[in-house]
Amino acid sequence: MRKDPIERYPGSLRWLHWLAFAAVVLAYLFINLTGLFAKGDPLQAAMLRAHFAAGLAVLILVVPRIFVRWLSRVPPVSPQPSRLTQRAAVSTHVLLYVFLLLQPLLGLGFMQLAGKVVYLPGGWDIPVLLVAKHPEWAAALKDIHETLGTIFYWVIGLHIAAALWHHWQVRDNTLQRML
């Protein structure tokens, strides 16, 4: 007896999802590694550059991802979840997309307002485009960026826990649609 194949998201959307996931993991890894080095240590500067590059990669990946997701048909969940579960899923995904867009933009905004060039690996950089520094605004954006980064841990954890719950407990195809 043949089992029907699982309907999945388009390949481009799946690739963008997993590449963005990897970029988010790297951004968190690099920013956490900066704490291992003293201020002014070249390795700390390298970790910050890698954090900026990973954050920029998140932004570069999420924009086409939103576009592809908007144009794509959502494969059905089987068996169909309750309305409450569907609403929770939509809310969580909206939060994820907001974080994926907002975090890199806040990071870039903080650097611009602080008058700091974003140095990227390979000799690339994002120059300061503002004429004047705004240290108070930069500090405020940095605080928001860091606070949202902490909150984002929980949203990511919720997303992963829900995917695993659907796979192992509910036994529907939610996770398989993205593999």
Residue 115 has pLDDT above 70, yes or no: yes
Question: Read out DSSP for 125-167?
Answer: EE----SS--HHHHHHHHHHHHHHHHHHHHHHHHHHHHHHHII
pTM for this one? 0.88
Residue ranges covered by each domain of the chain: 11-178
- Condensed to tens digits (0 to 9), the pLDDT of residues 78-105 reads 889 899 999 999 999 999 999 999 999 9
Of the pLDDT bands very low, low, confident and very high (cuts 50, 70, 90), residue 123 is confident
d(CA 130, CA 3): 59
The predicted pLDDT at position 1 comes to: 41
Tell me how far apart the alpha carbons of residues 137 and 147 are, in angstroms, rounded to a whole number.
Answer: 15
Specify the pLDDT at position 114.
Answer: 93
Q: How far is CA 15 from the centre of its chain?
A: 14
